[in-house]
Amino acid sequence: MSRTSNGKSRASGRVTLAAVAAHAGVATMTASRAISQPELVSSLLRERVEKAVEELGYVPNRAARALASSKSNVIVVLVPSLSNAVFTAVLAGIQDALDPYGYQILIGNTRYSDAEEEKLLNVYMQSNPDGILLSGLSHSKGVEKTLATSRVPVVSMMDISTDPDRVSVGFSQIQAGYQMTRYLLDKGYQRIGFMGAQLDERTIKRQEGYRMAMAEAGKLDPTLEMMVPDPSTIALGAELVERMHATMPGLDAIFCCNDDLAHGAIFQCQRRGIVVPQQLAICGFNDLPASALMHPSCTTIATPRYKVGFEAATLLQTLIRGEAPEQQHIDLGFTVMARESA
């Protein structure tokens, strides 16, 4: 009806709340409430507003709402990889936990780089997020500073911290590395190698657990460790098992820091006629879907990645509401999956 259009308007052309209100014959304020807090509006006016919304095809402007309310309803999630099935499962858990609450999730892929993480965080801070989910416990000084000055609630995922100033959801990467190695030792393997790639925080901690167990058994031998900075892939696992087999005499088992490497190692052994586990035992970490089904099936550690995402997002909401969490650090544990390959 009352379409004000003087040539020099800056209006976007979209239907505004004011237009809806005019159409419904109420004040803008009433239209706003009818949409956001309908229980505060009489059913008569509420229905008129709803009808106007429908007829005009009104779409709320999120930027305007965020600016006026200084609540963005945005949650930032930073993960090291999107191609790694572990983190897509974490994301699924986050989405399922947040879905009913109308948050907009901003996903940042740090590509395992602290510098990239810092860059992404700084960009995402422009969106004034209500909360932040981070992967891992160790971050750049810049990230620590940004988080400290912004006072936005943060939950760390994948590992568990003991820091009273932090909130974390995950499991002990060191303990998991330790238990996998103990499993191999208990099975009687003598010369157990460690295959690590990417060299991110989690790889290093699993290696630390491996070393603890090996030292405890009096079998620690640094020449049995193969650590490379390349991204973890099946192809790399195939290549490294070849190198380890050739250069580490007497090697009878390999603890691969994740399942991709382990699968590649198993495939390569099949191709080369090395019988797994009789000639060489192989185990991995994460329990990806193929691990249970490949032949031989892959011994590994099952990790609660979906649950990590779900619980972390749930905990973050508690913090956003300003409530104190029941637990600041939630240990979701892990399970050794004994299968055919080791």
Partner DNA sequence: CTGAAAGCGCTTACAG
Residue closer to a copy of itself (CB basis): 14 or 327: 14
List beta partners, residue 337.
300
DSSP SS3 for 101: helix
Minimum CB separation of residue 220 from a copy of itself in Å reads: 31
Residue 51: which of a copy of itself, DNA, none does it interact with, CB under 5 to 8 A by kind? none
Residue 267 near a copy of itself by CB under 8 A: yes
Minimum CB separation of residue 78 from DNA in Å reads: 23
Q: Which stretch binds a copy of itself (CB under 8 A): 83-91, 174-182, 277-285, 310-318?
A: 83-91
Minimum CB separation of residue 80 from DNA in Å reads: 30
Q: Report d(CA 325, CA 329) in Å as an integer.
A: 9
Amino acid found at 256: C
Minimum CB separation of residue 12 from a copy of itself in Å reads: 4
Q: Is the peptide bond before 277 cis (omega within 30 degrees of 0)?
A: yes
Helices (H), the chain: 17-24, 28-36, 43-56, 62-69, 85-98, 114-125, 141-150, 173-186, 201-216, 234-247, 259-272, 289-293, 305-320
Residue 275 near a copy of itself by CB under 8 A: no
Q: Which stretch binds a copy of itself (CB under 8 A): 1-9, 20-28, 136-144, 285-293?
A: 285-293
Q: Which H helix or E strand runs over 300?
A: strand 300-302
Helices 28-36 and 43-56, packing angle to 10 deg: 90
Residue closer to DNA (CB basis): 58 or 87: 58
**Residue numbers 157-216 binding a copy of itself by CB under 8 A:** none
Residue 125 near a copy of itself by CB under 8 A: yes
Q: Report d(CA 150, CA 146) in Å as an integer.
A: 6
List beta partners, residue 256.
195
Binding mask 219-258 toward a copy of itself (x if CB under 8 A, else -) reads: --------------xxx--x--------------------
- CB atoms under 10 Å from CB of 313, counted, come to 28
309 in Cβ contact with 97 (< 8 Å): yes
DSSP secondary-structure letter at 222? Answer: G
Q: Report d(CA 32, CA 341) in Å as an integer.
A: 62
Residues in CB range of 63: below 8 A, 6 or more apart: none
Residue 19 near a copy of itself by CB under 8 A: no
Minimum CB separation of residue 76 from DNA in Å reads: 18
Residue closer to a copy of itself (CB basis): 104 or 161: 104
Which residues sit at the interface with DNA, rule CB under 7 A?
8-14, 16-18, 26-30, 32-33, 35-36, 40-42, 44-46, 58, 60-61, 64-65, 67-71
List beta partners, residue 104.
74
Residue 212: which of DNA, a copy of itself, none does it interact with, CB under 5 to 8 A by kind? none
Q: Which of 178, 320, 191, 294 is nearest to 237 (CA)?
A: 294
State the residues that interact with a copy of itself by CB under 8 A: 10, 12, 14, 57, 59-64, 66-67, 70, 72, 82-83, 85, 88-89, 91-92, 95, 102, 104-107, 109, 122-123, 125-128, 149, 233-235, 238, 263-264, 267-268, 270-271, 289-290, 292-295
